[in-house]
Chains A and B, each alone.
Chain A
Amino acid sequence: MKISKRLYPYYMIWPAFLVYSVFFVVPAIIGLYYSFTDWRLDREVIRFIGWDNFRTIFTDETLILALKNTIIFAIVTVIGKNLLGIALAIGLNMKLKTRNLLRAVFYSPSILSILVISIVFTPMLRTEGMINRMLSAIGLDPLTQAWLTDPSIVIWTIAAVSIWQHVGFQMAIYLAGLQSISKDYYEAATIDGAGPWRSFINITLPLLLPAININLMLTLIGGLKVFSEVFVLTGGGPGNASQVVGTIILRAFGEGSWGLGTAINTLLFAGVTLISIPLLIFMRRREVTE
């Protein structure tokens, strides 16, 4: 116990704690207060109005649609980014000749400004755009779609673009995780006669658990807080068909209702917390028992 105290002194935490608290947490907490006010720029006095903003939010029918879209987006991207991310990481952890090049290629979209996504994908996803032309060229005409203008599929398209952009980011975290697994384990397993699949289940997966947990949390939170992909590709359109909670918040701010916008933000915060904290605690427990 004494060893631990002297070896791991608390004061190593405080600098991070201080910077984080002063420049992020304190303003964020004060900011929450505005959720309960009728704050607008054209108001001289900001009044406390209790839960009124929250009542207004739930009378808004686009919010229901936005919630549905947000959940679809989160689920699709969590699954897509993690499955593909693990697959890429495992492949690129093997001794391949083009390994370094391929890693850079797969990672590169995630370093691009979101503006690129808008500029490159908007023309490609048009009805007579490159993607549909390619589908037709290989005889897959029935698969051609109005990718960004058909209200029933637009959110799926945006999710796919998001996977395209960020899968390399997840891959990089999985790679870092794979790198910290000692080669000894695999050698031992090969000597025992275990095939690649059994090595994967018995060694890779359990030892990759920290990375899996990190990626699941990051993609889940990122998915629920999605904003920029939708904003640059459709702006929530056509109509309100691809509106998500993140873009609804911006809409409220744009209409001058800052109190309302903050309230939706608070609600999103509460929702994401309720989903992710229990998951986090559950996953931490599992890690410990490994």
Chain B
Amino acid sequence: MNNLKNRIAACLAAITLSVSLAACSSGNSGGSADNSSNSGASTIELAISKSSQDSAFVDQELLDEFEKQTNIRVNLQLLPAEQTTTVLQTKLAVGETPDIVQYNLASATTDLNLERNFEILDNEAWVSRLQNKEVLSAYGHVYSFHVSQDTGMQGVVYNKDMFEELGLSVPTNFEEFLAVCEQIKAAGITPVFMPFKDAWAANVWPAAAFADYAAKNDPTLIEDLNANRRNWAEIPAFADILKQQYEVYEKGYTNADILSDSYDMAVGKFLNKEVAMMFMGDWLIENVAEKDPSIHLGLFPIPYAEGASLGASPLGGQLFIPKKAKHMAEAKKFLDFLASKEMAQEMVNEQSYVSNFSDVTTPELPEYKQEIVEKYITPQNTVLTTDAHMLVDRSELYRYLQDQFAGGKTAEEVLQAWDEKFDQLMKDKGIAGF
């Protein structure tokens, strides 16, 4: 019996050993980082969604340069796009945060509880050089970092060369838009690309049109919606706007399989000149230009009504430092490094940003952007899309919009369903009036 027990003890010891062996080797693998920390270096973790990994802040050369200057290594945590929010929320909730997070300021206020979880950066040296503090601030404090103040623009991305060849001019109302579509279709080209497998893509048209309608005809509308004084379904213009987008599809002016096609196909469609237009943001123009600079794309406002303004989305892709960051000082050093005149200038040049630092000059903008600045930004002919005003998660609205195209809901039903969901989400969030 004793003999037996000894053998069991030995067996258990073996299990423990095998585990601690693993622990040792894991210690070793982490050790390479630790060893270097002995020689004065340390590592900071920067979490970023994999979909943003083209971000100028995580360019490898830039990170190497930072390590050379400060002996601080930046380790990237690339999170799968659809899990980014949940992973960050979880890590913030348990206090095991990365040292720097890249996220959109507007979503950070709805998703990540900015005030509770992130460091206020008002007293950083670079703040005094900012030209536009607003795009980095919330609740009256600077919470985030960026070298650009250029907010993305949303509307109809179109192929200028095609318009020229077919002798078309930019439509300024819905009838003209349909007429343009008809002519493009007659030329054997798909007028509008709708990649509505990605439900959010169905939101570009209404988000800009709703906001423009509200700004021009009903200035308190969005405020009223957010205070539950009015409902989405009560506004007939909203339903009309949704019907317009559906009409474009119904009349056969789009790709055939809109619910199967996804956003990542868009660049290819423009490169191959298969499509002429798409309801999207100006970032698409940039992506196409990267692959083929000879194609000329432009942007015009969503033509839901005469003389609409161009939709503007809030600035995205800012860097944040969580309050519980383990290497706060090093993280701030990284921001200082990015904000330094030379680095900021380099990034601004490379990305054609509109600089946010007084001592960093904005480079010559690409043609499409220059045009947007002249035609829309300078004459203040832009309007923040409804997304910028929303306090809760919008993905359910996107699904309802998608459902309109799957034949599951009419325009009115989309708005009614969203009213119910919106009500519940606002109530859960504890917004006054719900």
| B403 interface contact, C-beta 8 A | yes
* Residues of the B chain whose Cβ atoms lie less than 8 Å from the Cβ of A238: 259, 402-403, 405-406, 408
Q: A236-B399, A237-B402 are in contact. Are A42 and B408 (CB under 8 A)?
A: no
Main secondary structure of the interface of B (DSSP, over half): helix
Give the number of residues in B that approach A within 8 Å (Cβ atoms).
40
Question: Out of B89, B199, B257, B392, which one reaches A149, CB within 8 Å?
Answer: B257
Question: Out of B8, B86, B260, B425, which one reaches A122, CB within 8 Å?
Answer: B260
Return A122 CB to nearest CB of chain B, in Å. 7
Contact A127 B260 (CB under 8 A): yes
| A287 interface contact, C-beta 8 A | no
* Residues of the A chain whose Cβ atoms lie less than 8 Å from the Cβ of B82: 231
Q: Given the complex of chains A and B, what is the CA–CA distance between A146 and B197 in angstroms?
A: 13
Contact B116 A257 (CB under 8 A): no
User: Which chain B residue shows the least CB distance to A261?
Assistant: B86
| B24 interface contact, C-beta 8 A | no
Contact B406 A255 (CB under 8 A): no
Task: Please provide the chain A residues from 215 to 273 with a CB less than 8 Å away from any CB of chain B in the complex.
Answer: 231, 235-241, 251, 253-257, 260
Given contacts A12-B8, A126-B257, 6 further A-B contacts (CB under 8 A): A41-B92, A231-B82, A237-B259, A238-B403, A255-B395, A257-B428
Q: What would 22 A/B residue contacts be, using CB atoms closer than 8 Å?
A: A6-B1, A15-B12, A41-B92, A41-B112, A41-B113, A42-B113, A44-B116, A126-B260, A127-B257, A127-B260, A148-B259, A149-B257, A231-B82, A237-B402, A238-B403, A238-B408, A239-B400, A239-B408, A240-B399, A240-B403, A251-B395, A255-B392
| A151 interface contact, C-beta 8 A | yes
Q: Given the complex of chains A and B, what is the CA–CA distance between A235 and B400 in angstroms?
A: 13
Contact B406 A241 (CB under 8 A): yes
* Residues of the A chain whose Cβ atoms lie less than 8 Å from the Cβ of B430: 43
Q: Given the complex of chains A and B, what is the CA–CA distance between A42 and B115 in angstroms?
A: 9
* Residues of the A chain whose Cβ atoms lie less than 8 Å from the Cβ of B404: 239
Give the number of residues in A that approach B within 8 Å (Cβ atoms).
35
The interface of chain A, by Cβ under 8 A from chain B, is: 6, 11-12, 15, 38, 40-44, 56, 122, 125-128, 146, 148-149, 151, 231, 235-241, 251, 253-257, 260
Contact B393 A255 (CB under 8 A): yes
Contact A237 B257 (CB under 8 A): no
Q: Given the complex of chains A and B, what is the CA–CA distance between A128 and B407 in angstroms?
A: 20
Q: Given the complex of chains A and B, what is the CA–CA distance between A274 and B23 in angstroms?
A: 40
User: Which chain B residue shows the least CB distance to A232?
Assistant: B82
| B250 interface contact, C-beta 8 A | no
Q: Given the complex of chains A and B, what is the CA–CA distance between A91 and B182 in angstroms?
A: 59
* Residues of the B chain whose Cβ atoms lie less than 8 Å from the Cβ of A239: 399-400, 402-404, 406, 408-409
Contact A237 B406 (CB under 8 A): yes
Closest 9 CB pairs of A and B: A239-B403, A238-B406, A149-B259, A42-B113, A255-B393, A126-B260, A239-B408, A238-B259, A127-B257
Q: Given the complex of chains A and B, what is the CA–CA distance between A128 and B255 in angstroms?
A: 12
Among A44, A122, A127, A255, which residue has the most Cβ atoms of chain B within 10 A?
A255
User: Which chain A residue shows the least CB distance to B428?
Assistant: A257
User: Which chain A residue shows the least CB distance to B257?
Assistant: A127
Q: Given the complex of chains A and B, what is the CA–CA distance between A154 and B409 in angstroms?
A: 17
* Residues of the B chain whose Cβ atoms lie less than 8 Å from the Cβ of A56: 424
* Residues of the A chain whose Cβ atoms lie less than 8 Å from the Cβ of B395: 251, 254-255
Bits for B402-434, please: 1 = Cβ < 8 Å to A, else 0.
111111110000000000000011001110000
| B33 interface contact, C-beta 8 A | no
Contact A255 B399 (CB under 8 A): no
Contact B396 A256 (CB under 8 A): no
* Residues of the A chain whose Cβ atoms lie less than 8 Å from the Cβ of B116: 42, 44
Task: Please provide the chain B residues from 1 to 45 with a CB less than 8 Å away from any CB of chain A in the complex.
Answer: 1, 8, 12, 15
Contact A237 B199 (CB under 8 A): yes
* Residues of the B chain whose Cβ atoms lie less than 8 Å from the Cβ of A146: 257, 259-260
Contact A256 B429 (CB under 8 A): yes
User: Which chain B residue shows the least CB distance to A123?
Assistant: B260
Task: Please provide the chain B residues from 89 to 118 with a CB less than 8 Å away from any CB of chain A in the complex.
Answer: 89, 92-93, 110-113, 116
Task: Please provide the chain B residues from 283 to 319 with a CB less than 8 Å away from any CB of chain A in the complex.
Answer: none
Q: Given the complex of chains A and B, what is the CA–CA distance between A11 and B231 in angstroms?
A: 64
| B237 interface contact, C-beta 8 A | no
Q: Given the complex of chains A and B, what is the CA–CA distance between A12 and B404 in angstroms?
A: 59
* Residues of the B chain whose Cβ atoms lie less than 8 Å from the Cβ of A236: 399
User: Which chain B residue shows the least CB distance to A243?
Assistant: B399
* Residues of the A chain whose Cβ atoms lie less than 8 Å from the Cβ of B396: 251, 255
User: Which chain B residue shows the least CB distance to A260?
Assistant: B428
Among B259, B403, B408, which residue has the most Cβ atoms of chain A within 10 A?
B259
Q: A237-B406, A256-B429 are in contact. Are A11 and B260 (CB under 8 A)?
A: no
Task: Please provide the chain B residues from 223 to 277 with a CB less than 8 Å away from any CB of chain A in the complex.
Answer: 256-257, 259-260
| B85 interface contact, C-beta 8 A | yes
Q: Given the complex of chains A and B, what is the CA–CA distance between A149 and B259 in angstroms?
A: 6
Q: Given the complex of chains A and B, what is the CA–CA distance between A260 and B428 in angstroms?
A: 10
User: Which chain B residue shows the least CB distance to A154?
Assistant: B406
